[in-house]
Chains A and B, each alone.
Chain A
Amino acid sequence: MKKREEKTTRQSGTTTVSGMKRRSFVKLLGGGIFIFFQPWNVLDLLALPQQQQRRSLTRDYNAFLHIAEDGTISCYTGKIEMGQGIITSLAMMMADELNVPFEKVKMVMGDTELCPYDAGTWGSQSTQTFGPAMRAAAAEAKAVLLDMASSQLGVPVSRLEVKDGIVADSSDPKKSVSYASLAKGKKLEKYLDVKPGSEEYTKFTNVGKPYKRVDSIEKVTGRAKYTGDLKIPGMVFARILRPPSHGAKMKSVDVSGAEKISGVQVVRDGDLIAVISENKDKADEAIVKIKAEYDFIEMAVNDKTVFDWMVKAESRSNVAREGGDLEAGKKQSDRIFESEYHDPYVAHAAIETHTALAQMENGKMNIWASTQSPFGLQDAIVNELKMTRETVRVRTPFLGGGFGGKAAYQQGVEAARLAKLTGKPVMLVWTRDEEFFYDTFHTANVIRVNSGIDKLGMITFWDYHVWFAGTRGSETIYDVPNFRTTSYSENRSAFQVHPFGTGPWRAPNNNSNTFAREVQIDIMASAAGIDPLDFRLKNLKDEKMIACLKSVADKFGYKPARTPGNRGIGIACGHDAGTWVAEIAEVKVDTSTGKVQVVRIAASQDMGQCVNPEGALIQMEGCISMALGYTLSEEVHFEGGNILDRGFDTYQIPKLSWLPRIDCVILDRMDKPPKGGGEPAIIAVGAAVANAIYDATGARLYRTPMTPERVLEAIKKI
């Protein structure tokens, strides 16, 4: 806790204004009514990566609404759209609050010049923390508009009604005025201290109804613009010389081969060696002609030894939570179970690779980039190129997937450097090889659990140790009297654990923690001879978890049985981003090959108020299908700093043929605040499948992915 206080103090001393000053927005956008508001609270900010904390949020606002003179309502936010659908759900919330047609609402996202500062789009935060603030701002905007209408029409506010952006006297509907005409010729600025939770949910016209994506027509016709689709006159494509492995140091380089290719220019600036050409194929041809020699200072670790390496690493340990008395718990135990769980590095592997277009013009750097963190990229360029924030503008066209991987923005800095060096607009599209090489992987981790049950099958103690996965999702969740969670994290000054970059991956590390916990629970249930659903319900007091489990059992048509029971059915549950989720998987295991086919997954989730049931359902289905990757196949192989998987040939992501039947339930909690939807349903699939494999075969899997070899190995151990 002490650390947090220090950070708070440091922040309150800063008074930086993000990107552009408020006045400039107003000037840039012309007339109308502006409502400035502040969707973040300080605790959310403290949860950010340190690098991001350097820029404090401005105290006055960090998003705003604009009611333009033509009646268009725009929301300017630094958040970005990467497929998760907030471009639709946020607009729905705003349309509801202002009583305007959904089509009248426009989201302007991820532009460092037009939008106020936002730390980044991740952590399933957009709808839950940003949404309510935006709703309150819209309510404030409506109040301002009603006041204006009241004086213009000479009718008290209490008698006014709004429908489709028209304010009318309820007793004389002919007396009316539109938002557009109210905003006309005005330049009004209002500031809002957010008090979320304004409109009664029963009055919503949009929220709670399924809405299709607003961007799908653009996307099915090829008109949607992603960063790589942009073109500026004189634009060149760049390729950068890359080391063969992390930690390789260049000894010598010969670029003459590349220089001989017509239409290609070699660019050198210290460590940066690149080729540029207007012809993409020429750039690709030239880069491989550069001959370089390297010294290798490799770390002595690979994908097989990494787990041992992690446990032995000099790390920082921290007791995240504890209660009761572990020793007393052990004494009360009838049986004690000690297990170790392993999880490898996993890649983000968005189909769009990291891409950026940079153009230096009249002292100003314009960047378009596929990043989840436009303001982070802006700061990185400011630092790297010694520029000011006012002279660096980052824009984010549609992203071709992010999943946390595009919280990193190295490609944007590289493109900016090259644009500055060459004076040309530079398009940098990372190759698939670069995408794997520089990915900030989901970190490998080790989890050890020591736990016990008494004669009645009640959990007596829970001693949980997690190396390098952090504590997201490490809550015991069950009602255990004696517990402790110890987390070991990297102490970089003493020992570098990872040979390459790591970072957030959809529901960061909750997958790992939920896997370990829920397999351990299954082990105990089986040993106690109790059906795994009953065992969970018996040991739970958490009402939300109980409701999700009962509802998913109902959806699945679950019949209680002891495991293993030759059925291939497994259960797991947990929570993430404020959302509770329970899942049941059914698998078929080919015991001769070890191949697992997931036949069916049912899921039930409590996400509070569900803003867009269609969008939320898509996110659940996406989470479940994507989870099959970390569950069955995805693992980054490496030797020291050399990444061995560099493409989809060896790194296998879920394909259509893996698709199970998916049945989802979203519990009706319209009276509760909205919670995260983009990540939670991914967390429990691994454990549900592992438990289903056990039920089918009696083979216990302690690590992901559960490849055919590992399943066979586990079957042999029975």
Chain B
Amino acid sequence: MEEPISFTLNGRKTELRTDPNQTLIWVLRNQLGLTGTKWGCGTGFCGACTVLINFEPVRSCQVPVSDIAGKTVITIEGLEKKGKLHPVQQAFVDHDALQCGFCTPGMILTAVALLKKNPSPTRMEIIEGLDENLCRCTAHVRIVEAVIDAANEMKGGK
């Protein structure tokens, strides 16, 4: 019962034959080899599987792949441009804003979406924006600092 589906993935037109009922996360991870999108709970609570659909952060474990037909999907693999890290990625590196790194892709994508909507967030707005992404190693202090820095960098740089 596979069906064709087309969408834009990390800037590229993508066509795929797949079971339309599969969840997006497993199509990304298992069929497309994009394993940067992490599976943490399968119920939408942890945020490790966050991807951007039309620039909105979405829990990919909660979305059937049929939902993304004709849409734009960005995963963590799509942030780097010509070998250069996205400013949010770079800020996470600069601040050591990670430990085990398992929540990191979802955390970074959520932050990227936040900064797109609100390029000058306050500290509280950053915390609110990322509050539903769980990090058990609790790199919390550094995550907030990294996003503040990335926001400044992006305003100055672009």
A interface list, Cβ under 8 A from B: 82-85, 212-213, 215-226, 228-229, 231, 237, 279-281, 284, 349-353, 398-403, 429, 431-432, 614, 618, 621-622, 624-626, 647-649, 653-657, 659, 662
Contact of A281 among B26, B99, B102, B133 (CB under 8 A): B26
Chain B residues touching A, majority SS: loop
Contact check, A85 vs B45: say whether CB atoms are below 8 A apart.
Answer: no
Contact of B19 among A219, A281, A621 (CB under 8 A): A281
Chain B 29-60 against A: per-residue CB contact (8 Å), 1 yes, 0 no? 11001111111111101101000000000000
Contact check, B99 vs A220: say whether CB atoms are below 8 A apart.
Answer: no
Contact of A653 among B90, B104, B134 (CB under 8 A): B134
Residue from the set B90, B93, B141 with the largest chain A CB neighbour count within 10 Å: B141
Contact check, A401 vs B92: say whether CB atoms are below 8 A apart.
Answer: no
Contact check, A657 vs B131: say whether CB atoms are below 8 A apart.
Answer: yes
In the A-B complex, the 3 residue pairs with the smallest Cβ-Cβ separation, listed nearest first, are A222-B36, A83-B100, A400-B102
> B43: which A residues are within 8 A, CB to CB?
432, 647-649
Give residues of chain B (89-120) contacting chain A, Cβ–Cβ below 8 Å. 89-90, 92-94, 96, 98-105, 108
Contact check, B140 vs A401: say whether CB atoms are below 8 A apart.
Answer: no
Chain B 1-45 against A: per-residue CB contact (8 Å), 1 yes, 0 no? 000000000000000000101110010011001111111111101
B interface list, Cβ under 8 A from A: 19, 21-23, 26, 29-30, 33-43, 45-46, 48, 75-77, 79-80, 85, 89-90, 92-94, 96, 98-105, 108, 127-128, 130-144
Say whether, besides A279-B26, A403-B136, A653-B136, A351 and B103 are in contact (CB < 8 Å): yes
> A654: which B residues are within 8 A, CB to CB?
138, 140
Contact check, B41 vs A621: say whether CB atoms are below 8 A apart.
Answer: no
Contact check, B102 vs A352: say whether CB atoms are below 8 A apart.
Answer: yes
> B140: which A residues are within 8 A, CB to CB?
621, 625, 654, 656, 659
6 A-B pairs with CB atoms under 8 Å apart are: A222-B37, A222-B75, A225-B35, A352-B102, A624-B138, A656-B144
* CB of B65 to closest CB in A, whole Å: 9
Contact check, B34 vs A222: say whether CB atoms are below 8 A apart.
Answer: yes
Contact check, B89 vs A352: say whether CB atoms are below 8 A apart.
Answer: no
Contact check, B100 vs A350: say whether CB atoms are below 8 A apart.
Answer: yes
Contact of A280 among B30, B36, B46, B144 (CB under 8 A): B30
Contact check, A220 vs B42: say whether CB atoms are below 8 A apart.
Answer: no
> A402: which B residues are within 8 A, CB to CB?
100
Which residue of chain A lies nearest to B34 when distances are taken between CB atoms in the complex? A222
> A351: which B residues are within 8 A, CB to CB?
38, 40, 46, 48, 100, 102-103, 134-136
Contact check, B101 vs A618: say whether CB atoms are below 8 A apart.
Answer: no
Contact of A432 among B41, B104, B130, B138 (CB under 8 A): B41
Which residue of chain A lies nearest to B139 when distances are taken between CB atoms in the complex? A622
> B29: which A residues are within 8 A, CB to CB?
228-229
> A216: which B residues are within 8 A, CB to CB?
92-93, 96, 98, 101
* CB of B106 to closest CB in A, whole Å: 9
Say whether, besides A219-B98, A219-B104, A231 and B144 are in contact (CB < 8 Å): no
Q: What is the bound-complex CA distance between A225 and B105, given in angstroms?
A: 13
Contact of A657 among B21, B79, B127, B135 (CB under 8 A): B127
Contact of A352 among B80, B100, B108 (CB under 8 A): B100
Say whether, besides A213-B98, A281-B23, A626 and B137 are in contact (CB < 8 Å): yes
> A280: which B residues are within 8 A, CB to CB?
22-23, 26, 30
* CB of A648 to closest CB in B, whole Å: 4
Contact check, B41 vs A222: say whether CB atoms are below 8 A apart.
Answer: no
Q: What is the bound-complex CA distance between A216 and B94, given in angstroms?
A: 9
> B19: which A residues are within 8 A, CB to CB?
279, 281
> B34: which A residues are within 8 A, CB to CB?
222
Q: What is the bound-complex CA distance between A401 and B76, given in angstroms?
A: 20
* CB of A664 to closest CB in B, whole Å: 10
* CB of B149 to closest CB in A, whole Å: 14
* CB of B35 to closest CB in A, whole Å: 4
* CB of A17 to closest CB in B, whole Å: 32
Contact check, B42 vs A432: say whether CB atoms are below 8 A apart.
Answer: yes
Having A220-B90, A228-B39, one finds 20 other A-B pairs with CB under 8 Å, namely: A216-B98, A219-B104, A222-B36, A222-B37, A222-B77, A224-B101, A229-B35, A350-B100, A351-B40, A351-B46, A351-B102, A352-B102, A400-B101, A432-B43, A618-B139, A647-B43, A648-B45, A655-B131, A656-B130, A656-B131
Which residue of chain A lies nearest to B102 when distances are taken between CB atoms in the complex? A400
> A653: which B residues are within 8 A, CB to CB?
134, 136
Contact check, B45 vs A649: say whether CB atoms are below 8 A apart.
Answer: yes
> A662: which B residues are within 8 A, CB to CB?
141
> B94: which A residues are within 8 A, CB to CB?
212
Q: What is the bound-complex CA distance between A555 and B33, given in angstroms?
A: 49
Q: What is the bound-complex CA distance between A429 and B77, given in angstroms?
A: 22
* CB of B17 to closest CB in A, whole Å: 13
Contact check, B131 vs A626: say whether CB atoms are below 8 A apart.
Answer: no
> A625: which B residues are within 8 A, CB to CB?
138, 140-141
* CB of B92 to closest CB in A, whole Å: 5
> A84: which B residues are within 8 A, CB to CB?
99
Contact check, B99 vs A83: say whether CB atoms are below 8 A apart.
Answer: yes
Contact check, A215 vs B36: say whether CB atoms are below 8 A apart.
Answer: no
Q: What is the bound-complex CA distance between A281 and B103, given in angstroms?
A: 22
Q: What is the bound-complex CA distance between A253 and B41, given in angstroms?
A: 27
* CB of B46 to closest CB in A, whole Å: 6
Residue from the set A222, A431, A624, A649 with the largest chain B CB neighbour count within 10 Å: A222
Contact of A231 among B30, B37, B105, B132 (CB under 8 A): B30
Q: What is the bound-complex CA distance between A655 and B76, given in angstroms?
A: 22
Q: What is the bound-complex CA distance between A648 and B47, given in angstroms?
A: 11
Contact check, B127 vs A83: say whether CB atoms are below 8 A apart.
Answer: no
Q: What is the bound-complex CA distance between A614 and B130, given in angstroms?
A: 24
> A431: which B residues are within 8 A, CB to CB?
42
* CB of A216 to closest CB in B, whole Å: 5
> A401: which B residues are within 8 A, CB to CB?
99-100, 102, 136-137
Which residue of chain B lies nearest to A435 when distances are taken between CB atoms in the complex? B41
> B92: which A residues are within 8 A, CB to CB?
216, 220
Contact check, B141 vs A220: say whether CB atoms are below 8 A apart.
Answer: no
Q: What is the bound-complex CA distance between A502 and B43, given in angstroms?
A: 26
> A353: which B residues are within 8 A, CB to CB?
40
Residue from the set B36, B99, B108 with the largest chain A CB neighbour count within 10 Å: B99
Say whether, besides A83-B137, A281-B26, A220 and B104 are in contact (CB < 8 Å): yes
